[in-house]
Structure 1
Amino acid sequence: MTIGFSSRTARSACMLCLAGVLTLMPAAAAATAVRPDPGPPGGAADRTSSLYRSGTQVRPHPGAPRVPDVSALSWVVADAGTGDVLAANDAHRKLPPASTLKTLFALTVLPVLPGGLHHEVSPEDLSGIGPGSSLVGVVEGETYRVSDLWNGVFLNSGNDAVHVLAALTGGWSATAARMQAKARALGARDTHVRSPDGYDAPGQVSSAYDLAVFGRAGLRRPDFARYCAKVDAMFPGRDGRSYGIMNTNRLLTGASGVAPYPGLIGVKNGYTSNAGNTLIAAARRDGRTLLVTVMNPQEGGGHAVYEEARALLDWGFEADGEVDPVGSLVPEGARPRQGPQAAPAAAAAAKPAEDEPGWPETGAILGVAALGAGVTALALRLKLVRDDGS
C-alpha cells in the first residue's frame, strides 16, 4: 500500500504504521462491542411507543392523505432533517437486511480510510466471499484507490470491494464488531451484524427503523452522500484499462423500466433470496428531505420495492404538516429541548460529548493511529541513520 510517499522506505514505514493500527483495531472494536447494551434509544419507555406496535402507525390530521397500501413486511417514512417518523409499519420487526447493511459498513469504515489511499489486492483480501455474491470485479494483484472500491460498494453493491475494505480496517470479524458498536452508538438496537457485506448469515438481522437511522446518518456525511447519489462511474480493470459501472438502485437510475423518482438522492438497495428486496431511499423536494425504508414486499415482483418506496415518498411529501410524528430516529437524549431549557441544552450540545456512545472506540482508534505515526517516524529516522553511515 502506498500513501503518497515516493520512496520504498516511506512505503515500508507506512505499511509498518498501518500494520500496527490494524493489529490493535480489533481489540478496540471488541472492547467497545462487549459493553452492556443500554436498551432502546429512549430508555425502557420507548418499548411502549407506537413504533413497537404491529401494523401501520400514523397520526393524521383531519383531511390528511391516506397512507398507501403496500405489501412490504416492514417500512418507515421519516423526515431526514428532523428525524421525525411520519408513519411506519412494524418498524422494529427484525428481518434480514441484504445489502442495505452496507450503509452501516460505510458509516463504520469511511471515517478511517482516506479515499486517495492505494492498495494492491492480495488473495487473502478476497477470501470468504459468499457464493452468488454481487461483485464489481476486483482482481487479485491489481492496485485500487479506496475511492474506486467505495464506488464498487455503493453502485455495484460489490461484496468483493467490501472484503478488501474490511481487510484494510482490521479484518472481517473486527469490522463486524465495529459495525455492531456503531449501530448501538446510533441508537439502532435491532441490528445484529454477522457479515459486513449484508450476505445472508444466521442471526443477521436489522429493521426498517434501524435502516432509516443508518440512511439518515449517512446523508449527514458528505462522502457517503456523494457516493450513494452517483448514477455511474468508471472502475479500474486489468492492464490500466477501466470499464463503466452503474448504480443498481433503479429508483435512482430509471433502469429496467422503473421510472426514476424526481429529486432522489440515494441511498442503497439490496436483495438476497432470504431477505427479498430491501431499499433505503431518500428524496429532496422544496428544501425538505424524506427518507423511506422498505423491507421485503410480498407482492408485485422485483420492481415492487421501488414502486412501494415511490408511493411512500409521494405520500410523505403530500402529508407535509398533515400528520403528527409517531416517533423519532433520534435517540431521546440527543433530541433538542423546547422552552426555557433549550438554550442550556444547545450550549451543552456544542461541547465535545466524550461520554456519548462511540467515543471510546473513536478514541482508541485515534490513539492507535498516533502510535502508528510514531512507528513511521522512527522507521524513517533509522533509515536516515543507516544511509548516513553507508
Structure 2
Amino acid sequence: MPAPMMQTVRRFLLVTSATLASLALTAPVSLAAPSPSPSPAASGSPSASASPSGSPAASASPSVTPPAGMSSVGGARLGQAGTQVAIAGGAPVLPKDLTARSWIVADAESGDVLASHNAHWRLPPASTMKMLFADTVLPRFPKSTVHKVEAKDLAGMGAGSSLVGIKEGETYTVHDLWLGVFLRSGNDAVHVLSQMNGGIAETVKDMNEHAEELQALDTNVVSPDGYDASGQVSSAYDLTLFARSGLQKQDFREYCSTVTAKFPGETTKNKKGKTTRGTFEIQNTNRLLSGDYDISQYPGIAGVKNGNTTNAGATFTGVAERNGKVLLVTVMHPEKTDHNEVYKETAALLDWGFQAAGKVKPVGELVAPKGTTQADAQPGANPSSSEAAGQAGGAGNVSAKPVAGAVTEDGSGGMWIALAITGGLLVLLAGGGYLVNRRWPLPDLVRRRR
C-alpha cells in the first residue's frame, strides 16, 4: 500500500477510535422520548393514496409509540427511543415542530449520524423501498436493453398504485423504465423490471438478501415497489443505508437527480397506415428537487426518493451538498398533515445538519456492508452501473433532462449534480458489477476529485 494511502487509513482509524471513545463518554441526550410500547407491523391495508406529491394520506394509521427494544446496529444510542443528539459548544438546537415518527441526519461521507429520532423503528416504508429495489436490480441490465411489455409484466399491482403509464404491447428501454421508477415512482415500471429479473418472488428474495448484506436488519421486503403489505417494514436507518449504497452507482445518481424527462407514449396509426409514437413529459415527484407551490427546490439537493401510502404516511430520503459537506436525511411519517410536510421537516433537518456539522458529537454511524470497512475504498474510476458490469451504456429513446437549472447554495443554476458531488463523494473501486456495493469511500478521496 502506498505511503500516502497508509497514512490516510491510519488517520481514519484514529478518528474512528476517537469517535467511539467520545460516544462512550457522552451521556445520552433523549428529547421528548415517549413511553415505549410495541410497534405494529404493516397492516397490509391497500394504499388509499399513492400521491406523487408525497403529501400524507388522509387515512394514515393512528399515532403509536416506538417499541421498547430496537436494533443497536450503528451504535447503542440509535436503538434508544426518542431524540438522540450530543450538542457541543456552539451547536444549534434541533428544529422545533418536528412531528415525524422517525428521522435521521447523517454525514454521507464519513457515515457519522449527527442526530436521530427512533432511528431503528420498523415502519412501513412506502416507495422509499424502491431505493433498495434499484440498488439491487439496476446493475443487472444494460440501460439500452429493449423489452416488450406483456400482460403478465403488469399483473399484481395494488389498487391506487402510482404509475408512469406503461402500456402492454409497447417496447421500452431499461433506461425508460428506470426513469419511470425514479421520477414517477411507477409501480408499473417496478413490476416490469421485476419480471425481467425473474419475477416478483425472485426480486423480493434478492432485495431481502441485499438488505442483509448491507446490514439493514430492520427491513423485510414483501413487495418490491413498497406498496403496503403485511409485514413489509424498514427504518429510517435502513433507508439511509440504501440511499448511501445506491448513490455509489452513477446510473442511480443520474436517475434520482433528474427533474424532468421525455417518456415514450402509445404507438398510433394514422389514416394512411403510418405508425408513430410520441412522448410525454414526466416530472420527478421529489418536491425538494422539482419544487411545488408551497415549497422551493432545496439548495444543493440531488435526490433521493419519496413515498406515500396509507400505512406509511409520507416518507422521504434526501441527499444534499453545501460547502463541501454532503448530508443524508430520512424522515418517516410526520404526524402533522400539512401539504408537503415531509419535505418541510427534511429541509429543516438538512439546514440544522449543515449548521451543526463539526459542532456535535456523533451518536452513531452508518455501517458498511458485511465484510467491508470504510478503509476498503481506494482511488479509482466511478463507472456507471452498466459500465461496471461490462455493459454498453446506450441511453435508449428517452431524452432525459438531469436537473438543468436546479438551484445551488448561492441561488445560481446548474446543480446537475449536486450528486456528481456525491458521485465524486461515493467513489467506486474499479471492479465488477454487483460488487460495486461493497466498497465505501474515505472522505479525502472526495476532496481530490472536486
State the TM-score bracket (shorter-chain normalisation).
0.7 to 0.9
Amino acid at match of 1:142: E
Map of 1:52-91 to 2, 5 A cutoff? 52-69=79-96, 70-91=98-119
Question: CA offsets per residue over residues 93-125 of structure 1, 9 Å max, x none?
Answer: 000000000000000000101100000000000
Task: Supply the distance in 2 between the matched residues of 1:346 and 1:315 (Cα, whole angstroms).
Answer: 29
1:288: Cα distance to partner?
A: 1.5
Are positions 1:305 and 2:342 aligned together? yes
Q: Check conservation: 1:118, 1:143, Cα contact below 8 A.
A: yes
Pick closer, same or farther for the CA change 1:46–1:109 going to 2, 3 Å. Answer: closer
Amino acid at match of 1:227: Y
Q: Check conservation: 1:277, 1:302, Cα contact below 8 A.
A: no
Please tell me whether Structure 1 or Structure 2 has the larger radius of gyration of its CA atoms.
1
Seq. identity, %: 54
Match of 2:357 among 271, 296, 320: 320
Map of 1:71-150 to 2, 5 A cutoff? 71-150=99-178
Name the SS for the 2:302 alignment partner.
Answer: strand
Name the SS for the 2:192 alignment partner.
Answer: helix
Q: Check conservation: 2:162, 2:186, Cα contact below 8 A.
A: yes
1:260: Cα distance to partner?
A: 1.0
Structure 2 equivalent of residue 269 of structure 1? 306
Q: TM-score, normalised by structure 2?
A: 0.64
Amino acid at match of 1:102: K
Pick closer, same or farther for the CA change 1:336–1:254 going to 2, 3 Å. Answer: closer
Structure 2 gaps, min length 5: 1-70, 268-276, 379-432, 436-450
Match of 2:251 among 223, 229, 232: 223
Structure 1 equivalent of residue 422 of structure 2? none
Q: TM-score, normalised by structure 1?
A: 0.74
Amino acid at match of 2:302: I
Structure 1 equivalent of residue 20 of structure 2? none
Q: Check conservation: 1:270, 1:279, Cα contact below 8 A.
A: yes
Are positions 1:160 and 2:188 aligned together? yes
Match of 1:233 among 261, 273, 293: 261
RMSD of Structure 2 on Structure 1 (CA): 2.0
Name the SS for the 1:255 alignment partner.
Answer: coil
Q: Check conservation: 2:74, 2:367, Cα contact below 8 A.
A: no
1:219: Cα distance to partner?
A: 1.2
Amino acid at match of 2:189: A
Question: CA offsets per residue over residues 19-45 of structure 1, 9 Å max, x none?
Answer: xxxxxxxxxxxxxxxxxxxxxxxxx97
Match of 1:171 among 194, 199, 202: 199
Amino acid at match of 2:90: G
Task: Supply the distance in 2 between the matched residues of 1:311 and 1:166 (Cα, whole angstroms).
Answer: 36
Question: CA offsets per residue over residues 32-74 of structure 1, 9 Å max, x none?
Answer: xxxxxxxxxxxx9748710000000011112210011310000
Amino acid at match of 1:96: P
Pick closer, same or farther for the CA change 1:143–1:261 going to 2, 3 Å. Answer: same
Q: Check conservation: 2:128, 2:305, Cα contact below 8 A.
A: yes
Structure 2 equivalent of residue 243 of structure 1? 280
Aligned residues: 301
Structure 2 equivalent of residue 260 of structure 1? 297
Task: Supply the distance in 1 between the matched residues of 2:172 and 2:305 (Cα, whole angstroms).
Answer: 23
Amino acid at match of 1:64: A
1:301: Cα distance to partner?
A: 2.1
Q: Check conservation: 2:127, 2:306, Cα contact below 8 A.
A: yes
Task: Supply the distance in 1 between the matched residues of 2:142 and 2:188 (Cα, whole angstroms).
Answer: 19
1:149: Cα distance to partner?
A: 0.5
Name the SS for the 1:237 alignment partner.
Answer: strand
Task: Supply the distance in 2 between the matched residues of 1:133 and 1:279 (Cα, whole angstroms).
Answer: 17
Name the SS for the 1:96 alignment partner.
Answer: coil
* Bigger helix fraction: 1
Are positions 1:187 and 2:187 aligned together? no
Amino acid at match of 1:54: A
Q: Check conservation: 2:79, 2:120, Cα contact below 8 A.
A: yes
Task: Supply the distance in 2 between the matched residues of 1:172 and 1:206 (Cα, whole angstroms).
Answer: 19
Task: Supply the distance in 2 between the matched residues of 1:47 and 1:58 (Cα, whole angstroms).
Answer: 14
Task: Supply the distance in 1 between the matched residues of 2:228 and 2:339 (Cα, whole angstroms).
Answer: 18
Amino acid at match of 1:261: Y
Q: Check conservation: 1:250, 1:256, Cα contact below 8 A.
A: no
Amino acid at match of 1:304: E
Task: Supply the distance in 1 between the matched residues of 2:176 and 2:313 (Cα, whole angstroms).
Answer: 28
Q: Check conservation: 2:77, 2:364, Cα contact below 8 A.
A: yes
Task: Supply the distance in 2 between the matched residues of 1:316 and 1:136 (Cα, whole angstroms).
Answer: 34
Task: Supply the distance in 1 between the matched residues of 2:330 and 2:72 (Cα, whole angstroms).
Answer: 24
Question: CA offsets per residue over residues 242-270 of structure 1, 9 Å max, x none?
Answer: 10000001111112321110000000000
Structure 1 equivalent of residue 76 of structure 2? 49
Amino acid at match of 1:215: A
Question: CA offsets per residue over residues 217-248 of structure 1, 9 Å max, x none?
Answer: 11111110000000000100112111000000
Question: CA offsets per residue over residues 303-329 of structure 1, 9 Å max, x none?
Answer: 110000000000000012101111111
Task: Find runs of 4+ consecutive structure 1 residues off by over 4 angstroms.
Answer: 44-48
Structure 1 gaps, min length 5: 1-43, 338-344, 348-360, 364-390
Task: Supply the distance in 1 between the matched residues of 2:218 and 2:374 (Cα, whole angstroms).
Answer: 24
Q: Check conservation: 2:75, 2:364, Cα contact below 8 A.
A: no
Amino acid at match of 1:63: G
Task: Supply the distance in 1 between the matched residues of 2:253 and 2:227 (Cα, whole angstroms).
Answer: 23
Structure 1 equivalent of residue 401 of structure 2? none
Name the SS for the 2:165 alignment partner.
Answer: coil
1:273: Cα distance to partner?
A: 1.2
Q: Check conservation: 2:74, 2:365, Cα contact below 8 A.
A: no
